[in-house]
Amino acid sequence: MATNRTFTMIKPEAVENGHTGAILKMINDAGFRIVALKKKQLSAEAAGEFYEVHKERPFYGELVEYMSSGPIVAAILEKDNAMVDFRELIGSTDPADAADGTIRKAYAESKAKNAVHGSDSDENAEIEGSFHFDASEMF
């Protein structure tokens, strides 16, 4: 059964370029409730663990280096059909393919620096949310 929560990170280049507030506004305007929110910098070790599922991919090293290069903003979001609806809101991995009105269309620079992460399954949303937040940080 689908859960009503998903997990997101605003990635280093979007945070660095001052897009955090605008991206959070797009998320709010799309009807998501913020359950948990924090700004933090991942160590290379933590980024490697978070993206472990991509370990065999050719871009894994680049991804880990990039995701630990500066602060990110992590959040757990709540809405009916959260995971699917959020992936629609963020748009395609490659901003060249992202639809108008999506976060990546507005703010992504490239396939690697693509502004935001969104969980790709309910199971991963739970795992990824728990990676960044403990129960006392969820409201």
Q: In what order do the strands lie in the sheet with 116-118?
A: 33-40, 72-78, 5-10, 116-118
Query: Could you say which of 19, 54, 117, 132 is catalytic?
Result: 117
Q: How far is the CB of 12 from ligand CMP (least distance, A)?
A: 11
Q: How far is the CB of 136 from ligand CMP (least distance, A)?
A: 26
Q: How far is the CB of 80 from ligand CMP (least distance, A)?
A: 22
**Residue number with CB closer to ligand CMP (55 or 59):** 59
Q: How far apart are CA 4 and CA 38, in angstroms?
A: 20
Q: Give 8's strand partners.
A: 75, 118
**Residue number with CB closer to ligand CMP (4 or 66):** 66
Element (H, E) at 77: strand 72-78
- Residue 105 has which token pair? 């269309």
CB-based burial, 86-100: b 16+ in 10 Å, e otherwise: beebbbbeebeebee
- Residue 28 has which token pair? 């709010």
**Residue number with CB closer to ligand CMP (18 or 58):** 58
Residue 132: active-site member: no
Which residues of the chain form contacts with ligand CMP (CB under 6 A)?
54, 59, 62-63, 93, 111-112, 114, 117
The catalytic residue positions are: 117
